[in-house]
């Protein structure tokens, strides 16, 4: 890698909020711009370069034409990082995967449905090999800065493998379950400093599942706190749909 690595940002199906968080991070850490060259970043600049070592990809793959573009990025970059829940998990775009695709297309596009080639939403790891993920909706800006520094120093990006509950307890929050709310913190990967419970809301799972989550136990807890099976499914579908459907496919053999 050259003394001043070239970095590129790309977006697929997403709200672009993670790229906005990158811009925020660069404003608060302008020193980063002294040590990298950003050659492509549609949300922030008009120049476009296709010579880069590190590619950050935001957004999920939702149509066949996304695939060759992602593969071309993979061919050019030494390192590819999935940026945010859409790229990491399919994100909220993957909610559609629980429904009949023709119904979804009809609902969204009406009588123009045939104009759009959209298909089931996938995380980018299912299209190209990736080197790391930065979870979250949006990503955590401190985690982005730490990750970029790690890559520039030739180290691997480290993300927590323990649940949000650990960070929540360290912050000495009162558990939202004790306030009549529900929370996916026990099965969700930490790294956001338990921001939602800290401000009084339950975790919605945007950073994805921890390794070996006890989903059955969590469903039991949700049931004991008043959620019916439909409400539980809805809660598990917002960000975790792709991962839970993957697990269901394995369980079904």
> What is the rounded CA–CA span in Å between residue 226 and residue 73?
46
Question: C-beta of 147: minimal distance to ligand SF4 in Å?
Answer: 15
If binding is defined by CB under 6 A, does position 192 make contact with ligand SF4? yes
Q: CB–CB of 43/23 below 8 Å?
A: yes
Beta strands in 12-110 (DSSP E): 37-41, 54-58, 79-83
Q: Which stretch binds ligand SF4 (CB under 6 A): 22-30, 115-123, 199-207, 229-237?
A: 199-207
Question: C-beta of 154: minimal distance to ligand SF4 in Å?
Answer: 27
End-to-end Cα distance, the chain: 43
If you write DSSP's letter for every residue of 172-198 in order, what string do you get? TPPPGGGGT----GGGBB--STTHHHH
Q: Residue 138, preceding bond cis, omega within 30 degrees?
A: yes
If binding is defined by CB under 6 A, does position 84 make contact with ligand SF4? yes
Return the H-helix or E-strand segment holding 106: helix 101-109
Q: Which stretch binds ligand SF4 (CB under 6 A): 8-16, 22-30, 40-48, 106-114?
A: 8-16
Q: State which of positions 142-161 bind ligand SF4 (CB under 6 A).
A: none
If binding is defined by CB under 6 A, does position 123 make contact with ligand SF4? no
If binding is defined by CB under 6 A, does position 173 make contact with ligand SF4? yes
| Residues facing residue 13 across a β-bridge | 60
CA dihedral 75, 76, 77, 78 (to 10 degrees): 70
- Considering beta carbons, is residue 197 or 213 the nearer one to ligand SF4? 197
Select the residue interacting with ligand SF4 from 125, 177, 245, 246 (CB under 6 A).
Answer: 177
Question: C-beta of 172: minimal distance to ligand SF4 in Å?
Answer: 10
Select the residue interacting with ligand SF4 from 57, 147, 168, 209 (CB under 6 A).
Answer: 168
Q: CB–CB of 97/121 below 8 Å?
A: yes
Residues near ligand SF4 (CB under 6 A):
14-18, 58, 84-86, 91-92, 136-138, 164-165, 168-169, 173, 175-177, 183, 185-186, 188, 192, 194-197, 202-207
């Amino acid at each position: 890698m050259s003394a001043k690595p070239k970095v590129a940002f790309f977006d697929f199906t997403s709200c672009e909020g993670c790229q906005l968080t990158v811009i925020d991070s660069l404003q608060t850490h302008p020193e980063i711009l002294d040590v990298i060259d950003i050659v492509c970043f549609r949300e922030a600049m008009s120049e476009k370069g296709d010579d880069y070592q590190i590619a950050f990809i935001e957004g999920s793959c939702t149509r066949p034409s996304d695939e060759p573009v992602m593969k071309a990025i993979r061919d050019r970059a030494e390192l590819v990082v999935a940026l945010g829940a859409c790229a990491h998990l399919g994100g909220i775009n993957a909610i559609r995967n629980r429904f009949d695709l023709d119904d979804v297309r009809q609902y969204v596009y009406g009588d123009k449905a045939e104009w759009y080639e959209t298909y089931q939403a996938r995380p980018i790891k299912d299209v190209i090999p990736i080197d790391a993920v930065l979870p979250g909706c949006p990503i955590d800006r401190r985690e982005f800065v730490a990750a970029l520094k790690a890559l520039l120093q030739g180290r691997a990006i480290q993300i927590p493998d323990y649940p949000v509950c650990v960070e929540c307890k360290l912050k000495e929050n009162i558990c939202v379950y004790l306030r009549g709310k529900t929370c996916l913190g026990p099965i969700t990967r930490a790294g956001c400093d338990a921001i939602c419970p800290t401000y009084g809301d339950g975790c919605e799972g945007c950073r994805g599942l921890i390794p070996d989550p006890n989903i059955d136990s969590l469903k039991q807890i949700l049931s004991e706190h008043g959620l019916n099976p439909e409400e539980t499914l809805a809660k598990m579908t917002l960000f975790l749909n792709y991962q839970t459907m993957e697990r269901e496919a394995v369980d079904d053999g």
